[in-house]
Amino acid sequence: GYVVMQVMSCRDRIEQLQSMYNFDAVESDGLTKFVPRGGQSIASIAQDELVPTNRGGNTRDQLEITRKQELELPQQVSITYISRTANYDPGTQLSQRQTVLARDVVGINVPVIATDQYAKSIADITLYNAWVSRVAFKFTLPPKYSRIEPTDIITLTVDGVAYVMRVTSTKIERNGVMEVSAVAEDVSTYDFYTPPGVAPPITQPGTVIPGTRLELIDIPALPNDTDPAGILRAAVVAQGENWQGAVIYRSDDGGETGGNTFLVLSAVNTEHTLGGAVTVLPAGPAGNLWDDGSTVDVVLQHGTLSSITDLGVLNGGNVALLGNEIIQFANATLLADQKYRLSRLLRGRLGTEHEQGTHALGERFILLAANLVRVALQNSLIGLARHYKPVTVGGTLATTPEQTFTYTGKTLRPYSPVNIKGTRHAPAANDWTINWIRRTRLGGEWRDGVDVPLNEQSELYHAQIMNGVTVVRTVEGITTPSLVYTAAQQVADFGAVQTSFTLKVYQVSAIVGRGVPGQATIS
């Protein structure tokens, strides 16, 4: 049965029926023929029978093949019909491809009475045929094949490959040759059987859980750190869309029991300003001297940067970790999408001046903002490798790659002493008296009449006398910022009294040991 639902042309009605019964219409010898799909090939054509063409001075290949992109094809076809087995109520049968990039849904509504089985087969055939016929051909045949017409199935062999195709149009040229357009054909397309009944469930594409990039940050204490404990910081950024946060886990025994020993370290639902350097920052002046001669370009994976005033920088703004050096910047010039050039810099902040010459292409850039993950760690973890996992919300611990990181307790490491200077005693003695000034990790703001706090259990220094790169004398247990290097010691170390030598001075922590050395040439 076929229900006339509305007024329409005869051609429109025939096209409705074509969608349910898989036939084509063609004019042949002045008559309109309706040819069922799924026929056999009527001609086998060899490559040497194809006619090369020359249009516009360009010789085309004998066979032109084009292929539609997946996004142009349907992922799902639904057929709505009048179901004989459901007391002539409307029925729907679906056919769907699962693992494709296509997302288009084609709906066919035909007022034809059909069984559920037949409607399901038509849905399958329509969908599969759309994917088979995505491959289109164009070529030219000699006059001997002029009887080939649209709807015919032919086989064309080119370079040893047999292409079975259905002719869709033909055009006779003045010289008798015929230009043919066709699409790929597969007779098995029209022989589907999938059990009908209730429409199969529509499997929606699964939600992709993006990964989380985790950067663990072991740096000196920041100005807002007040507790004496060691601090580990972390920055995270999504590696895809629909990121809903992450949970950072740590295993203290290497996760040897299949991940059950990973414990929650911190949860985070905010991405941080994070990226990498695309140029190498050269060394520059440290301390409170502006570096106006150096710039560095960074590309952010997430976040934005902005310029601030010099006073804003001096008040603690725009602090960032570049490689292992902490810098500040006044100017952030946007060069391209997510790409910035940083200039007017303050270098070696928070005691990292010794890291100035270590920069490399691609090193990490992290804005040291207040929203970084901050975790206090026990001192027993210093120097020990541990496994960390950033598990995206919706992901699993088992499928998240782990990364190994060794915490060194830099928040507890003393800064290098500065202003290391020596004076000689009377020429007869040839002793050197060396003095230096210590720095502090916390609370080092300049206040009149008050020295900076010690922030160590006791004031303690180690010193090394150097002969080139060789340590010739180590002095430990120094409790004041001063050292006397006697003439006798010089003779023992060098064979003669010295008018110049190199000295390294370390302030010592009871927890992490020697801090960063301060080095100077005494002369």
Q: Give me the DSSP letters along 110-124.
A: EEEEE-HHHHHHHHH
- Average of pLDDT values for 129-150? 91
Residue with the two structure tokens 């849904």: 105
Using DSSP, state whether 509 is helix, strand or coil: strand
Residue count of the chain, please give it. 523
Residue that wins the pLDDT comparison between 29 and 447: 29
- Average of pLDDT values for 74-102? 82
pLDDT-derived band at 196 (thresholds 50, 70, 90) equals low
Q: Confirm if 503 and 519 have CB atoms less than 8 A apart.
A: yes
Count the Cβ atoms, other than its own, within 10 Å of residue 286. 18
Please, is 336 exposed, middle or buried when counting C-beta atoms within 10 Å of its C-beta (0-12, 13-18, 19+)?
A: exposed
Residue with the two structure tokens 């309706």: 34
**Beta-carbon contacts of residue 238 (< 8 Å; ≥ 6 apart):** 210, 211, 212, 213, 271, 302, 392
> Looking at the DSSP assignment, which residues form a beta bridge with residue 408?
none
**Beta-carbon contacts of residue 347 (< 8 Å; ≥ 6 apart):** 284, 285, 286, 287, 289, 291, 294, 325, 327, 353, 356
Residues 468-487: pLDDT tens digits? 999 999 999 999 999 999 99
Count the Cβ atoms, other than its own, within 10 Å of residue 83. 19
Residues 153-172: pLDDT tens digits? 999 999 898 999 999 999 98
Write the Ramachandran bin of 430: left for phi over 0, alpha for psi from -120 to 50, otherwise beta: left
Q: Phi first, then psi: what are they for 447, rounded to 5°?
A: -130, 135
When mean pLDDT is compared across 249-263, 333-347, 426-440, the lowest value belongs to 249-263
> Looking at the DSSP assignment, which residues form a beta bridge with residue 466?
471, 502
The overall average pLDDT reported for the chain is: 88
> Looking at the DSSP assignment, which residues form a beta bridge with residue 319?
328
**Could you tell me what percent of the chain has a pLDDT over 90?**
59
Residue with the two structure tokens 């009294």: 497
- Indicate if the pLDDT at residue 16 is higher than 90: no
Q: How far apart are CA 503 and CA 485, in angstroms?
A: 11
Helix (H), strand (E) at residue 435:
strand 432-437
Which of 472, 368, 366, 481 has the alpha carbon at shortest distance from 416?
A: 481
Q: Phi first, then psi: what are they for 128, rounded to 5°?
A: -65, -40
Q: Confirm if 155 and 137 have CB atoms less than 8 A apart.
A: no
Residue that wins the pLDDT comparison between 63 and 248: 248
What is the Rg, in whole angstroms, of the alpha carbon atoms belonging to the chain?
Answer: 39
Q: Confirm if 79 and 110 have CB atoms less than 8 A apart.
A: yes
Q: Confirm if 109 and 80 have CB atoms less than 8 A apart.
A: yes
- Indicate if the pLDDT at residue 199 is higher than 60: no
Q: How far apart are CA 499 and CA 464, in angstroms?
A: 17
- Structure pTM? 0.60
From residue 523, alpha-carbon distances to 79, 156, 227 in Å are 94, 92, 40
Q: Phi first, then psi: what are they for 511, rounded to 5°?
A: -100, -50
The predicted pLDDT at position 103 comes to 67
